[in-house]
Amino acid sequence: MFKAGKVAIIGRPNVGKSTLINALIKEKLCIVSQKPETTRDNIQGIISGKDFQVVFIDTPGMHKPKNLLGKSMVRRASSTFLEVDIVLALIDSYSGITQEDKRIFSELPSQKINFLVINKIDNINKCQVLPIIERAQKYSFKEIIPISAKKLDGTDIVFKKILEYLPEGFPMFPEDQLSDKNERFLVQELIREKVLEVTRQEIPHSIAVGIEEMKDRKDKDIYYIRANIYVEKDSQKAIVIGKKGRMLKKIGENSRKEIESFLKKKVFLDLWVKVYENWRKDPFALKNLGY
């Protein structure tokens, strides 16, 4: 008997959804950052076995949108319910079940199999987990599982339970495929992750990355990538470039190492910073940048 299905991972921003999906598929597929609203698109991560295929969908954090980009992110997250078999609702154990979590719980489709996953238990005492589980009993979750995605504690239990509830079906992707996203998308996300690591305040939310060119250089054993980092203001551009270009150099070095690890080849990364005014509020700009 072959089992196959889709599993959505949903929750508030910054509860560890991307970290969990990376832990479950045992690959770094989704970028991770301490900044809220890091994930902007639904990303599917695929794990295949002899008698199963699970497609995990990492969704943008459920939040009250402030611009067109935010509305697009929430719409994509909400639409995921229609196509999945199992929903993992993720919460942060440190903050417990918040009002925002309750709102998300109320939107869970009753016809789906819903799990509650209590993440980041490494940040609290074990005795603090039980009251959260008790409070969660009044909701109609099939399973309530405490974990630490970062420490890989309990993630094996999550996967085992998913396989128990997964319906019979047929593979949706070739068994060696890891994601529905292409190489170009994943590379630009890795660059964006490195920008997020070194920027503060409003800049992380104002950043977008676009790949202009990716190709093998025939004359050299190297892969050439030219990419643009987009910001909304000249002042932000100056910050991302940094004094004497130091910030951009750091972003480039960190990105190149990550991309080389991902592509398994030497990379020449050509990074540029450009101003794209108010792109988060412009429907044409959002479409042009893939949102």
CA dihedral in degrees (25, 31, 36, 39; nearest 10)? -80
Backbone angles phi, psi at 260, to 5 degrees: -65, -40
The pTM (predicted TM-score) of the whole model is 0.80
- The token duo for 167 is 């319906």
For residue 175, is it within any domain? Answer: no
Whether residue 125 lies inside any domain: the answer is yes
Same domain, 123 and 31: yes
The number of domains in the chain is 2
Is 208 inside a domain boundary? Answer: yes
Which residue type does 44 have? Q
Q: The CATH number of the domain where 149 resides is what?
A: 3.40.50.300
Pairing mode, strands 208-217 and 222-231: antiparallel
Report yes or no on 173 lying in a domain.
Answer: no
Q: Which residue's structure tokens are 């630009």?
A: 188
The CATH number that applies at residue 283 is: 3.30.300.20
> What pLDDT is recorded for position 139?
94
**pLDDT (average), residues 88-94:** 96
14 and 145 together in one domain: yes
Structure confidence at residue 58 (pLDDT)? 81
Amino acid at 285: A
- Classify residue 238: in a domain, yes or no: yes
Segment 28-64, tens digit of pLDDT: 877 666 665 566 677 889 999 999 999 998 876 554 5
pLDDT the model gives residue 270: 98
In a domain? residue 178: no
* pLDDT single digits (tens) 123-153: 999 899 999 999 999 999 999 999 999 999 9
Say if 192 falls within a structural domain: yes
* CB burial of residue 19 (10 Å; 0-12, 13-18, 19+): buried
Range of the domain at 248: 183-288
Q: Are residues 54 and 146 in the same domain?
A: yes
Domain's final residue, options 165, 192, 211: 165
123 shares its domain with 211: no
- Of the listed ranges 78-87, 116-125, 266-275, the least confidently predicted one is 78-87
pLDDT of 285 over the 50 cut: yes
Asked whether the beta carbons of 267 and 225 are under 8 A apart, the reply is yes
